[in-house]
A and B are shown apart, each in its own frame.
Chain A
Amino acid sequence: DSGVTQTPKHLITATGQRVTLRCSPRSGDLSVYWYQQSLDQGLQFLIQYYNGEERAKGNILERFSAQQFPDLHSELNLSSLELGDSALYFCASSVAGGGDNYGYTFGSGTRLTVV
């Protein structure tokens, strides 16, 4: 157990639907990062939150959004789902969002299948 908790572990949904993925960071970590991993694209950085505020944005589609709540857990919302959104979604956390060079701790991921 890495200390980063992601739920659900598996999700199957239909095209056009909306889903929410949840991440609880490791205790004491203020930053949360979201990554998407598909077979053809590898690990793609989506977005980072630090202490409730958006810190960095990567290749995140407009149909996707995220937020970090006061208790530091984060949610990734995926809407108008397409078949190509099927992937593993990883959340990672780190101690701080800047001024440090600590490693990230990753969760075990949510496998999303869009049918």
Chain B
Amino acid sequence: DAKTTQPNSMESNEEEPVHLPCNHSTISGTDYIHWYRQLPSQGPEYVIHGLTSNVNNRMASLAIAEDRKSSTLILHRATLRDAAVYYCILRARDDKIIFGKGTRLHILP
């Protein structure tokens, strides 16, 4: 499985944007970049995914570097409810999702 590298933890202030980085220098041309998050005492939750182009949905935006060796999950306006562990995952088409350690995001009121 291709590897991703994320910071262990990050802090952000409430109502400010949050940029969560992910490095994936060994990504292959067919790997999709997926992001999930896990709120305390809950199951993981799908956030967003993309292949080459930047993606937006109601939860977040995904910015993918031109060489695809890194990506950034952007939460436009963090709330206390966004405090969670965020997982950046590379997924080959048809392949299962393998979770790494993720980034624990703390939101400061």
- Taking Cβ atoms with an 8 Å cutoff, the residues of A that contact B are 2, 4, 33, 35, 42-45, 48, 56, 58, 90, 92, 97-101, 103-109
In the complex, A108 Cα to B43 Cα: how many Å? 5
CB within 8 A of A106: which of B34, B44, B49, B101? B44
Residues of B near A43 (CB, < 8 A) are 38, 44, 87, 99
Residues from chain A with a CB closer than 8 A to the CB of B91 are 101
Contact, CB under 8 Å: A48 / B94: no
CA distance A1 to B20 in the complex (A): 27
Do A45 and B97 have beta carbons less than 8 Å apart?
A: yes
Partner of A90, one of B43, B46, B94, B100: B43
Number of A-B contacts (CB under 8 A): 55
Asked if B93 and A99 make an inter-chain contact with CB atoms under 8 angstroms apart, the answer reads yes
Binding site for A on B (CB under 8 A): 32, 34, 36, 38, 42-46, 49, 87, 91, 93-101
> Cβ of A98 and Cβ of B43 under 8 Å apart?
no
**Distance, CA A56 to CA B92, complexed state (A):** 14
For this complex, 5 residue pairs linking A to B, each with C-beta atoms less than 8 Å apart, are A4-B43, A43-B38, A43-B99, A44-B99, A92-B44
Give B23 Cβ to nearest chain A Cβ, in Å: 19
Instruction: Pick from A42, A43, A44 the residue with the most CB of B within 10 Å.
Output: A43
- Asked if residues A98 and B42 are in contact (CB atoms below 8 Å), the reply is no
**Does A107 contact B43, Cβ atoms closer than 8 Å?**
yes
Residue numbers in A under 8 Å from B43 (CB-CB): 2, 4, 90, 92, 106-109
Distance in angstroms between the alpha carbons of A56 and B45 in the assembled complex? 21
- B70 → A minimal CB distance (Å): 20
Closest to B45 in A: A106
Min CB gap B34→A, angstroms? 7
Q: How far is the CA of A106 from the CA of B43 in the complex (A)?
A: 6
Taking CB as reference atom, which chain A residue is nearest B47?
A: A103
